[in-house]
Amino acid sequence: MKKPAAPSGSQGGLSRRALLGGTAAATALASLDVSARAAPAPTRPFELAEATVAELQAAMQSGEHTARGLAERYLARIADLDAREHLPLRSVIELNPDALATAAALDRERREKGARGPLHGIPVLIKDNIATADRMQTTGGSLALVGARPPRDAFIVERLRAAGAVILGKTNLSEWANFRSTRSASGWSARGGQTRNPYALDRTPSGSSSGSGTATAANLCAVSVGTETDGSIVSPSAASALVGLKPTVGLVSRSGIIPISHSQDTAGPMARTVADAAALLSVLAGVDPADAATAASKGKAHADYTRFLDPDGLKGARIGVPRERFFGYHPATDARVEEALALMKSRGAILVDPAPIPSAARLDAPELEVLLYEFKAGLEAYLATLPEGTAPRTLAALIRYNEAHADAELPYFGQEILHMAQAKGPLTDKAYLKALQACRRLSRAQGLDAVMKQHKLDALVAPTQAPAGLIDPINGDHWLGSSSTPAAVSGYPSITVPAGFVHGLPVGLSFMGRAWSEPVLLKLAYAYEQASKHRRPPTFAQTADLRGRAGATSRPATP
């Protein structure tokens, strides 16, 4: 979760937007030195910089590279950029000790039987709230879960392994997916320390899939997997010039993933290109008997999402622009999106402008109520699957653990959201059922479905969020606004694509659609991406470029 403030003019009060959004404690504390003392960008070139999944696959097929060779190069890149003294990105929380052996076995299989598919031998990083039943930890960034081994791989990990992906390790995240404190700094966990934004090291990596965003942007992997409840895929993706796809809830299994909300949680791809996101989604999507929500995807999922990529996909598309609430909080970001709208129109898109989402201003309060109830129930169900005596078994026990280990777990901000969730009752409470009904009605029939039906739209577009704010462990995140909530609450899909830069900081454009409309969104996003070509690698600058006008940026060489 991320914690953006409500846009100017919206309702006041304690809303969801006002609330959300083996490392020793000493390491975590030290990692919060976010002064501009970092070294300049590394000068050693990286031969795999910005390499796509298709390019890496072709290189392995031709014999130019092997899976083991790719894994070795990315692991060396992680060692060079992620933890060295003067450039600690801290995006990778743990490396997989079996990565090279797995890659070598996949090389043998390729020689003997051929490749399993597009992800055979491709190096992937996954978020540290996704369970692996191997020698890695699964902690959600919390020291309370260190040593608590899950009984089995998450379903999506099983699918990644079956597809031949090489899991290099796990990425850092906002602890408990940023559902812990009203003043948290995104990208910080007690176990992993503070992840930084690779475009300006004093800026937030954003969202809770912060490590996945930073690692993918910095070319520490080919692609990564994040998770989202509201904004935690699209937000860090926008902050790091990535493509982030939040699927329809139920398209991708959640079993084995530390939960916040069964109504809104989903895993999804984070990548440098739309094509790579589509390739990864093709592997992640699938019906899982252990996640009842995935049954609804039967007949709606696709085995190969790359077949929907069309450079002319904008021609004739009806795209709505919900200006009310989702524009106006950052003029320079709006300017980049206006350029995007003009480009889409020049490529044949039909813009319906404005196309407001009728109920957008009424989603925050019921959403927060639902998340508090579902977090308590879902977390305790997950904790019950862990071996007895290795982790807290209840939310109350987790709160006590944090209090007993306050120096490591609570050095900067507290656990107010955990206390709020603990105060909630069971999922049979009338307050929960009323809030859930309101969320579904407001976000669907009176929200996205209403505006799309009224204007016969293929998608809606809006700025994903403002440029990344400064890391502030004392006061927490400073959010101006974003557009993630309608798709998050409805459980419908959204995808963010790079839309340019403001003072060297990336901004993104989000496409939102109806349930199961991933093919449409991928087509539109790909066409826009191919027309705009805004993606470029990070500079590892000490801070934002404050020279010149907000849109003026340079094009540095790839490190």
Catalytic residue, candidates 3, 31, 91, 127: 127
* Diameter of the chain measured on Cα atoms: 63
Judged on CB neighbours under 10 Å (0-12, 13-18, 19+), 18 is middle
Catalytic residue, candidates 142, 174, 208, 224: 208
Other CB atoms within 10 Å distance of the CB of residue 64: 10
Q: List strand residue ranges (DSSP E) for 34-110, in order.
A: 92-95
On whether the CB atoms of residues 171 and 212 are closer than 8 A, the answer is yes
**Both tokens assigned to 218:** 């910095």
101-122 core/surface letters (b: 16 or more CB in 10 A; e: else): ebbbebbebbeeeebebbbbbb
In whole angstroms, give the CA distance from residue 543 to residue 70. Answer: 31
> Pairing between strand 505-512 and 166-171?
unpaired
- For residue 186, indicate whether it is catalytic: no
On whether the CB atoms of residues 129 and 174 are closer than 8 A, the answer is no
Nearest to 508 by CA among 323, 328, 243: 243
Q: Which residues, other chains included, contact 371 with Cβ-Cβ below 8 Å and sequence gap of 6+?
A: 1, 16, 20, 179, 229, 260, 261, 264
Give the containing element (helix H, strand E) for 437.
helix 430-440
Cα–Cα separations (whole angstroms), residue 134 to 71, 91, 167, 189, 504: 18, 20, 11, 22, 40
Q: Which residues, other chains included, contact 278 with Cβ-Cβ below 8 Å and sequence gap of 6+?
A: 269, 305, 306, 308, 309, 522, 526
Catalytic residue, candidates 91, 184, 212, 232: 232
Report phi then psi at 454, rounded to 5: -60, -40
In whole angstroms, give the CA distance from residue 513 to residue 518. Answer: 8
Residue 460's SS3 state is strand
In whole angstroms, give the CA distance from residue 121 to residue 106. Answer: 6
Rg (CA), the chain: 21
- For residue 483, indicate whether it is catalytic: no
Q: Name 233's bridge partners.
A: none
Nearest to 486 by CA among 12, 16, 9: 16
In whole angstroms, give the CA distance from residue 359 to residue 346. Answer: 31
**Both tokens assigned to 54:** 């298709």
Q: Name 169's bridge partners.
A: 95, 125
**Both tokens assigned to 1:** 């979760």
- For residue 127, indicate whether it is catalytic: yes
409-446 core/surface letters (b: 16 or more CB in 10 A; e: else): beebbbbebbebbbebeeeeeeebeebbebbbebbbeb
Active-site annotation, residues: 127, 208, 232
